[in-house]
Amino acid sequence: MQAHGSLDATLDATLAALSDPTRRAILARLARGEATVNELAEPFPISQPAISRHIKVLADAGLIVQRVEGTTRPCRLAPQGLSELDEYLAMLRKGLERNYQRLDRLLARQRKDKPS
């Protein structure tokens, strides 16, 4: 895991980017494959410049990458875009699992100590 401050900044950017339903829908579309900005804008009732701003937020958070191909700018998911979030969630899952294990031990002890 990264140093605490840099992880916080990366995680904050990732969570902020994921907080918007339009950006989550863009990511879901990109999970099916690369798409141009115009293709990404198609299903939304908002302007292409607004979609471009969403794409910039996703790119700044490291969730997508964009390349220039003539006059188009195809986007795709970034290979390691969710790695910090995965690490954070794994840490939370481990903590939750430890809590459940402690609870299981406590309940087993109570059952053992309880007179029949």
pLDDT tens digits for range 35-48: 999 999 999 999 98
Domain residue spans of the chain: 8-81, 82-116
In sequence order, what E strands does 10-90 have?
A: 64-66, 75-77
Does residue 1 surpass a pLDDT of 50? no
Residue 61: helix, strand or coil by DSSP? Answer: coil
pLDDT value of position 78? 94
pLDDT in tens, 47-103: 989 999 999 999 999 999 999 989 889 999 998 888 888 888 999 999 999 999 999
CATH fold for domain 8-81: Arc Repressor Mutant, subunit A (1.10.10)
Output the pTM of the full model.
Answer: 0.77
pLDDT value, residue 54: 97
Place of tokens 């109570």: 110
